[in-house]
Amino acid sequence: MNGNRLKERRIAEGLTITELARLSKICTKVISQTERLLNDPTAVTKRKILNGLNAVKKPGEKPYDFEYIFPRTDSD
C-alpha cells in the first residue's frame, strides 16, 4: 500500500480525526486506518475524505488535489 499525505494535511488544517470524519461523512475508524496505512479505502471513500479536507479551505485557496493527498504508485 502506498503512502498518503492525509495526516499531514489534516493536522495542517487544524482538524481532529473526529472533525474530518464529520466533514467527510465517514467514520473515524476509516480516517485513522487510512492515515496509518492499515486500510486502502475505495476511490469513493478517498473522494469523501478529500471533500472533507477541502470543506475547511478558505475562499480563494486552492483545493487539495486527489493525487496530492493520495499519490498513485505503479501498483495502482
User: Quick check: 2 pLDDT over 70?
Assistant: no
State residue 1's pLDDT score: 42
Return the closest-CA partner of residue 50 out of 13, 29, 1, 38.
13
CATH of the domain at 24: 1.10.260.40
In a domain, 22, yes or no: yes
Cα distance between residue 34 and residue 41, in whole Å: 7
In a domain, 66, yes or no: no
How many residues in total does the chain contain?
Answer: 76
Q: Domain span at residue 28?
A: 6-57
* pLDDT tens sequence across 13-38: 999 999 999 999 999 999 999 999 99
Domains in the chain: how many in total? Answer: 1
Return the closest-CA partner of residue 12 out of 60, 59, 69.
69
